[in-house]
Structure 1
Amino acid sequence: ILYQEQVMKIAQVLANYSLAEADELRKAIGKKKQDVMERHQARFVEGAAINGVNPNLASKLFALIEKFGGYGFNKSHSTAYALIAYQTAYLKAHYPVQFMAALLTQDMGNQDKTIKNIAECREMGIQILPPDTNESHPDFAVVEGGIRFGLGAVKNVGLKAIESVIEERNQGGPFKDLLDFCTRVDGSKVNRRVLEGLIQCGAFDFTGIERSRLLASLEEVTRLCGASQDPNQLTIFSAAPGGGVRTFDFSNIQNHVPWDEREKLRREKEALGFYITGHPLDRYKEEVKRFTTSSIQDLTQLTDKTAVRVAGVIEELKIKRTKRGDKMAILTLEDQSGSTEVVVFPDVFERSSALLKSDEPLLVAGMAEVDEMVAKIISQEIQSLENVRQAAIRLIELSLARDTLSKDQLEGIKDVLYRYPGQSSVVFKVETDPGKRMVIAAHPRYNVFACREMIQELETLIGQKVVCRYGEKNSNHRLSQHP
């Protein structure tokens, strides 16, 4: 069944419906009026029986008509949308980068859709580049290497500020650095808050200077540019006193604290509303694959009341009280594919309240409630994904190269292992001859707590990647025991 007109014809021919009755059935299907549909089912089966149609067969046919209500339209509507679907599919297949840039621009004001669109770009192999004051336009744009974020997507950057930046760029050429930018743009339109947002989202990454260093230098840079005392208003002059050219050594910033990847992403999200250059879950690819049952985007494809485990970071948290005065929470959980609502009732909230106030990736287990393509999770357990990861690692492998193996290196490894005691076994793969390795299990007293800090220290020492194994200890290994 493709069109509503077919349903009307079936009802007329098989069940002796009048045109008015058939149209009423069509409306009931379209609006999913269950009480009206139940009345029509009895009427349909009775009418079909008069024409010699078996009641069981008539009931099956009516069930197909009900199913049709989930996707069916009238013929003229379906034809128009079929043409649009064909045109859209053609553009996406033959001009994927241009298509996705246009889609991102269209959905710029919708955070959930933008997150999904960015995820789809990555799946398609299209690189999403952060905003750039030398390259970005108001909207998303196709550039060599991918899609460049539009300046219009940056929070607190209004149209006047964007127009001012682009106008100056067109007239005076590319900006050399942050100082050059502040010197040239109209300070009445590009204020301190705008500059902070542009730095944090990566719009000055072309300078090769760390975002943290640029932000730390902002006070001094704006002073050199003639900024007023109002931190939200830059009265920036186009030239230095006496007509000289200003220079600034960004390497001499005092009290500069570098950002780790987590802080960089947090500030990027703060400036844009979503992540571009990475996601907090990226470092947990193996764990997400191993411990989750679904991505957030795929929750809507599940049947109602399905048990699920999903990973994500908290985007929004609302703490409430029940009628009995107990604390509970409703949070928005986000992964690379989208976001969903998670309900945390008092018993779960009591066990996980500290985790809910952190910004670390979580593993949420619970029941998916799915209703008409909208899904939410009723949580039953919330855990730190890092803690789940560490508890699941049963063994770590260290590969040692014969050319670089030394007593100092072994002592350094021993020191690291002693400083991180835990439950995970340690195995050495030692190169004995070119192409040959001996596998040696360390004594249980060297078992470790396989946190990321320990892994990083070991990788620095041995100059190679440390392999983490999940599952049973020493599985799939024939080991020589360390004395």
Structure 2
Amino acid sequence: MRYYPVEFIAAMLNSIMGSSEKVAFYIHFAESLGIQVLTPDINESFSKFTVKGDTIRFGMAAIKNVGMNVIEGIVKAREEKGEFTSLSDFCNKVDPGTINKRAVESLIKAGAFDKLNGYRSQKLAVHEKLLDGAASQKKKNIDGQLSLFGGLDAGAMVEVPEIQYPRIKEFDKKYLLAMEKEMTGLYLTGHPLDEYKASLKSQTSMSVEEIMSSQETLEEEAMAHDPAAEIIMKPSVGVEDGERVIIGGIITEVSRKVTKNNKIMAFVKLEDLTGTIELIVFPNTLEKVNYMIEIDQLIVVRGKMSIREDEAPKVICEDIQPLEKLNSSKVFIRVSDNKTAKEVNWSLRPYLAPYRGDTPLYLFAAKERQSFRLGRDMWLDLKGDGFKFLQEKFGEENVKIVEDN
């Protein structure tokens, strides 16, 4: 690991390729070390994760519906006939008997053809027609409709004419990411939460990574460099059982179950920009937040940590609220001390109702040098007169707008 970190992580990724959660964990670990994991590429990817200089190329075997026969056919065509220059060229060069529509669709959705001309939306619109054309041409050749030179060997190219892509727009980013998640279990070219970084930082107390910070492989496994070894995670010692936390992210899985008392509880997978954690939602809480528990929902969760030996940390959910996309600006009101800040917090609420918006409002206690974010119902609309009102009430020198970097 110390001397060959890229090779070590590539080997680990190949050993746990069937588990998208573990793959995500090691990809994030690689990125934390400055090692980039490149997206799948029809001209560069092999079946497994491979090392390319100081980077790792995503393996095609980690894409759903893409079997080894398909991958071997793609690699063979690439090595014998050269790199693919377009989707039509791909269908020309690859033996139609080794590929199928479902595998090509999955490769397009996973982004493996992204470097070739055309949007994913356009490629998905024409790939079936191209494959049908290749299969039809092969059948004609087999039936004896050959050139003047006679026979066509099994490895020869099947001529499929270049096709004009339909004039349609690319799918929106959210849908592209959803396709990647569907095909690989991972977001490869971005994350639905990328636009919510500031929101997560402002509305949560810690990230999943901070909860899992001391989860690591056993030292002897790393020293042995044994990729086949079972990955054993240790719960973080930095978070205690029963400790209250506020975390946020996107729901990726939901499982509802009936308890012995004939009530419904839920087990939820929550993913933020750093990792994934399981939420346990007991019946009484579920009755209040059930409408929020849907796949792809962006949420903020308040709850208690559940730390058990030989189990990954979990959060027992107490409340769920929508994850709000915040304005990049913040408004700070400077007051003398914490006592005054508490008084202002209660007295100011009724006056801010007409100026409600999406810009967070903070009180800064000068004596203790502490900041407090006020409730969501006290945030400001900077396009209105709320900022002017605060300046008149507390003095222009005590009310400032701060822009996030």
| Whole-angstrom distance in 1 between the partners of 2:387 and 2:125 | 43
**Change beyond 3 A, Cα 1:473–1:422:** farther
| Whole-angstrom distance in 2 between the partners of 1:98 and 1:166 | 22
Structure 1: gaps of 5 or more residues: 1-91, 229-233, 397-420, 427-440, 448-471
**Shift of residue 224 of structure 1?**
3.1
**Shift of residue 245 of structure 1?**
5.6
Matches within 5 A, 1:1-150: 92-144=1-53, 146-150=55-59
Deviations 1:132-191 (CA, angstroms, capped at 9, x unpaired): 110011111122562110111111111111111111111111011111212322333321
Q: Secondary structure at the match of 1:371?
A: coil
**Change beyond 3 A, Cα 1:134–1:380:** same
Is 1:331 aligned to residue 268 of structure 2?
yes
| Whole-angstrom distance in 1 between the partners of 2:175 and 2:302 | 27
Deviations 1:422-452 (CA, angstroms, capped at 9, x unpaired): 52479xxxxxxxxxxxxxx7542899xxxxx
| Whole-angstrom distance in 2 between the partners of 1:361 and 1:212 | 26
Matches within 5 A, 1:141-180: 141-144=50-53, 146-180=55-89
Q: Secondary structure at the match of 1:206?
A: coil
- The aligned amino acid for 2:179 is R
Q: Secondary structure at the match of 2:90?
A: helix
| Whole-angstrom distance in 2 between the partners of 1:474 and 1:323 | 61
| Whole-angstrom distance in 2 between the partners of 1:288 and 1:236 | 59
Q: Secondary structure at the match of 2:74?
A: helix
**Shift of residue 93 of structure 1?**
3.0
Out of 283, 297, 321, the position equivalent to 1:346 is 283
**Shift of residue 379 of structure 1?**
0.3
Match of 1:195 in 2: 104
Deviations 1:361-388 (CA, angstroms, capped at 9, x unpaired): 2222111100125211110111221x3x
**Change beyond 3 A, Cα 1:245–1:113:** closer
As a proportion of its length, which structure holds more helix?
1
| Whole-angstrom distance in 2 between the partners of 1:355 and 1:171 | 53
Deviations 1:382-414 (CA, angstroms, capped at 9, x unpaired): 1221x3x44997669xxxxxxxxxxxxxxxxxx
| 2:85–2:116 contact (8 Å) kept in structure 1 | yes
| 2:266–2:282 contact (8 Å) kept in structure 1 | yes
| 2:205–2:246 contact (8 Å) kept in structure 1 | yes
Report the RMSD for the aligned CA atoms in angstroms.
3.5
Q: Secondary structure at the match of 1:163?
A: helix
| Whole-angstrom distance in 2 between the partners of 1:372 and 1:473 | 55
| Whole-angstrom distance in 2 between the partners of 1:377 and 1:264 | 30
| Whole-angstrom distance in 1 between the partners of 2:303 and 2:200 | 16
Is 1:248 aligned to residue 157 of structure 2?
no
**Shift of residue 284 of structure 1?**
1.7
| Whole-angstrom distance in 2 between the partners of 1:96 and 1:195 | 33
TM value normalised by structure 1:
0.58
| Whole-angstrom distance in 2 between the partners of 1:181 and 1:244 | 11
| Whole-angstrom distance in 1 between the partners of 2:290 and 2:86 | 44
Out of 208, 211, 225, the position equivalent to 2:120 is 211
| Whole-angstrom distance in 2 between the partners of 1:124 and 1:378 | 32
Match of 1:304 in 2: 241
Match of 1:185 in 2: 94
| Whole-angstrom distance in 2 between the partners of 1:190 and 1:208 | 21
Match of 2:227 in 1: none
Out of 259, 272, 289, the position equivalent to 2:171 is 259
| 2:207–2:274 contact (8 Å) kept in structure 1 | yes
Out of 177, 180, 193, the position equivalent to 1:268 is 180
Structure possessing the higher relative contact order (Cα contacts under 8 Å, 6 or more residues apart): 2
Deviations 1:53-92 (CA, angstroms, capped at 9, x unpaired): xxxxxxxxxxxxxxxxxxxxxxxxxxxxxxxxxxxxxxx3
Match of 2:357 in 1: 423
- The aligned amino acid for 1:152 is A
Q: Secondary structure at the match of 1:125?
A: coil
**Change beyond 3 A, Cα 1:103–1:177:** same
| 2:91–2:160 contact (8 Å) kept in structure 1 | no
| Whole-angstrom distance in 2 between the partners of 1:207 and 1:474 | 56
| Whole-angstrom distance in 2 between the partners of 1:274 and 1:144 | 23
> Number of paired residues?
315
**Change beyond 3 A, Cα 1:257–1:319:** farther
Structure 2: gaps of 5 or more residues: 148-157, 212-234, 333-354, 361-381, 389-393
Match of 1:418 in 2: none
Is 1:380 aligned to residue 311 of structure 2?
no
Q: Secondary structure at the match of 2:313?
A: strand
Q: Secondary structure at the match of 1:279?
A: coil
**Change beyond 3 A, Cα 1:445–1:303:** closer
| Whole-angstrom distance in 1 between the partners of 2:96 and 2:265 | 46
Deviations 1:220-275 (CA, angstroms, capped at 9, x unpaired): 323433469xxxxx98989x99786611122x34xx45322111111101000112
Q: Which moved more, 1:138-147 or 1:219-228?
A: 219-228
Out of 176, 201, 207, the position equivalent to 1:295 is 207
**Shift of residue 216 of structure 1?**
2.1
Match of 2:218 in 1: none
Match of 1:364 in 2: 301
| Whole-angstrom distance in 2 between the partners of 1:102 and 1:338 | 21
Match of 1:13 in 2: none
Q: Secondary structure at the match of 1:135?
A: coil
TM value normalised by structure 2:
0.68
Deviations 1:270-328 (CA, angstroms, capped at 9, x unpaired): 00011222222222222222322333244332111111122222222111233444332
| Whole-angstrom distance in 1 between the partners of 2:191 and 2:3 | 29
| Whole-angstrom distance in 2 between the partners of 1:393 and 1:381 | 27
Match of 2:351 in 1: none
